[in-house]
Amino acid sequence: MSAPRSTSRILEARGREQAAVFARLLAALAFARGVLRLDFATRQQAQQARARLVAVMEPLLDRAATETELLTVVVGTYGQALAAIDAEILSLKPLARVVTGQSQPACLLAWQLYGDTTRAAELVRLNNARCPEFMPVEILAPLPDDAA
């Protein structure tokens, strides 16, 4: 496509470019604020969300640097979101992959792993099991409280 020849078309093209950048910034800010409301079940989920946040926000910081007020908002929101995710990562236990060799009920697995059958619902939820009586042969489970 050839470059626009008139001044009005050049300004129009710049305006469209600025509008696109502004739309990406707004979407990134909405994503960062949305992260503040998320609850993560596992440390791995929180780490994945942090990586997505960094991938979305880092490229936009250069774009926001041209306007002081916008940069203040972007950096503040980005910092709050990172701090919230980092606190969540530190508070969550990592998951372990458990291979049983045969399908077992969630209550039995919870008892074998934690000595607590009430944690069966947690295992069912983490593994998206349809029937708690027949858990998959390979499951994800939070590390026990006494694990180092």
Does 95 have pLDDT greater than 90?
A: no
Taking only the tens place, the pLDDT of each residue in 26-63 is: 888 888 888 778 888 778 888 888 998 888 888 878 77
What pLDDT does 84 receive?
Answer: 87
Q: Alpha-carbon distance 12 to 117, whole Å?
A: 65
Residue 140, helix vs strand vs coil: strand
Give residue 4's pLDDT band: very low, low, confident or very high (50, 70, 90): low
Taking only the tens place, the pLDDT of each residue in 120-136 is: 998 998 888 999 999 99
